Amino acid sequence: MDFIDRDYRFVAIDVETANGNRHSICQVGMAMVSHDGRVDTHGFFVDPDEPFHSFNSQLHGIDAGTVRGSPRFAGALAPVRSFLERHALVQHSNFDKMAFDAACARGNLAPLTSAWSDSVRIARKAWPELRGQGGHGLGNLKKALNLNFRHHDAVEDAWAAAQVVLLAEERTGQGFAELGATAATRARFPAKVGLLGNEQGPFFGQSVCFTGRLGLDRMQAARLAAQAGFEVRTGVTKALTLLVVGDQDADAAITTKQRRAQDLIAKGADMRILIETEFGDLLTI
């Protein structure tokens, strides 16, 4: 899994289940969208440790024989958990998050801390004309957007959800987090936003990630950084050059991103950590 240490704009997730129980995940698919638009995919089977219903198996083609020898959910999640939790996740409808939450609860695991967006909501904003014309499910979007994928395979459905988001961004000129935000989450959606840097900016070629509670609106901070040339990233990897910590959190317990940055710096990564005020000073130099 060479993608584990990479930093992506977002990761689309899809699951298939063995039966009517949400926790009965038998396949997980991931489509990982890089900052240059490339989409990497990965998937794995899960032993749900309970019977398959014929309806489900007919739908996705997975049965007990398919998952024989695969890990149960806790074992399957462990290698990818930290990767998922440092990325924004996209699901097509709310089923996938509910399935993850239910499977975690069944296994006495804490739920994922990731921020989730819904590509159905995104598609509704991008193609409102499909309302009443087949709707915004993947089956209809496959035809409406001329997407080529095998529906009800978790990896291919995840890829399709990622394509829906990319096409919606292209059509509307808005980022996936903004498109997927509800009124309740609008104030905090930019926490996971990723933007490309202005090639004419003085900091072009460098990258920045934000963590903690900023004084600025998070989208405003991201846009200012991008205008100055920074590529705005969603997570901390050894390729990151700058982590900006909210002034309010400078003297508080360090965030997960800050701890990861400190560990990478200790291992020799060429990265700086600044508080928000210092970052503002940097942009005005």
Helices (H), 35-129: 54-60, 64-67, 73-77, 81-85, 95-106, 119-126
Beta partners for 246?
A: none
The residue ranking higher by pLDDT, 36 or 185, is 36
Q: State CA 114 to chain mean position distance.
A: 8
CB 62 within 8 A of CB 48: no
141/138 Cα distance (integer angstroms): 5
CATH number assigned to the domain comprising residue 170? 3.30.420.10
In 81-168, at which residue ranges do the beta strands (DSSP E only) sit?
89-91, 116-118
155 shares a domain with 225: no
Last residue of a domain, one of 189, 214, 244: 189
pLDDT value of residue 53 = 96
pLDDT value of residue 251 = 52
260 shares a domain with 203: yes
pLDDT value of residue 184 = 41
40/198 Cα distance (integer angstroms): 25
Lowest mean pLDDT among 46-60, 104-118, 182-196, 231-245: 182-196
pLDDT in tens, 173-187: 887 777 876 544 444
198 shares a domain with 174: no
Q: Around 263, how many Cα atoms within 13 Å sit in the side-chain half-sphere?
A: 9
217 shares a domain with 166: no
pLDDT at 22 over 60: yes
255 shares a domain with 185: no
The values of phi and psi at residue 200, to 5°, are -95, -5
CATH number assigned to the domain comprising residue 260? 3.40.50.10190
Query: Mean pLDDT, to the nearest integer, of 241-269?
Result: 79
pLDDT value of residue 191 = 43
136 shares a domain with 96: yes
pLDDT at 249 over 60: no
pLDDT value of residue 282 = 82
pLDDT value of residue 33 = 95
Query: Mean pLDDT, to the nearest integer, of 23-49?
Result: 96
pLDDT value of residue 213 = 75
112 CB neighbour count, 10 Å cutoff:
17
Last residue of a domain, one of 189, 212, 244: 189
136 shares a domain with 246: no
119 shares a domain with 25: yes
pLDDT at 128 over 80: yes
Last residue of a domain, one of 159, 189, 219: 189
At 224 the three-state DSSP class reads helix
- Which residue segment(s) compose the domain that 163 sits in? 1-189
pLDDT at 250 over 60: no
126 shares a domain with 63: yes
The token pair that represents 276 in the structure block: 């928000």
pLDDT value of residue 237 = 86
219 shares a domain with 131: no
pTM score: 0.67
284/117 Cα distance (integer angstroms): 34
124 shares a domain with 29: yes
Query: Mean pLDDT, to the nearest integer, of 61-74?
Result: 98
Q: What is the CA radius of gyration of the chain?
A: 20
Cα torsion 50, 55, 58, 61: sign: negative
What's the mean per-residue pLDDT of the chain?
Answer: 88
pLDDT at 192 over 90: no
pLDDT value of residue 185 = 45
147 shares a domain with 43: yes
Counted domains in the chain: 2
Give the rounded percent of residues in the chain with a pLDDT score beyond 90: 56
